[in-house]
Amino acid sequence: DGGITQSPKYLFRKEGQNVTLSCEQNLNHDAMYWYRQDPGQGLRLIYYSQIVNDFQKGDIAEGYSVSREKKESFPLTVTSAQKNPTAFYLCASSISGTGSGELFFGEGSRLTVL
């Protein structure tokens, strides 16, 4: 089945540690995104990438880093510089170009900082 796989589903981290969230898609989509969701809030864009080896900062990129070395993979690193990293992280993908722009989401990764 085609889809987006995020791992791990739950992650606990001590303060001061970096952690990397995995996102893999087999939809052959060009564009990939990372969103953060806090309780009772909408989604806020962290980073996005429209093609391999290129990515742009979203609205809340500080304390995060990404890479896009392969079309199907877009890992997100939450660094120790991120002041309040506890949140639900959602990866998404979409067709670029003439597509509708509709986002397809993974199941999410819930990060808790102890």
Residues at the site binding other proteins, with contacts judged by CB under 8 A? 31, 33, 35, 40-45, 48, 50, 56, 58, 90, 94, 96, 99-108
Residue 36 half-sphere exposure toward CB, CA atoms < 13 A: 23
Given the complex with other proteins, which of 45 and 52 has the nearer CB atom?
Answer: 45
Given the complex with other proteins, which of 44 and 80 has the nearer CB atom?
Answer: 44
Given the complex with other proteins, which of 18 and 96 has the nearer CB atom?
Answer: 96
- Would the CA dihedral through 86, 22, 57, 46 be positive or negative? negative
Going by their DSSP bridges, the two strands 54-57 and 43-51 should be labelled as antiparallel
- How far is the C-alpha of 5 from the C-alpha of 99, rounded, in Å? 21
CB of 91 to other proteins, least distance (A): 9
CB of 16 to other proteins, least distance (A): 28
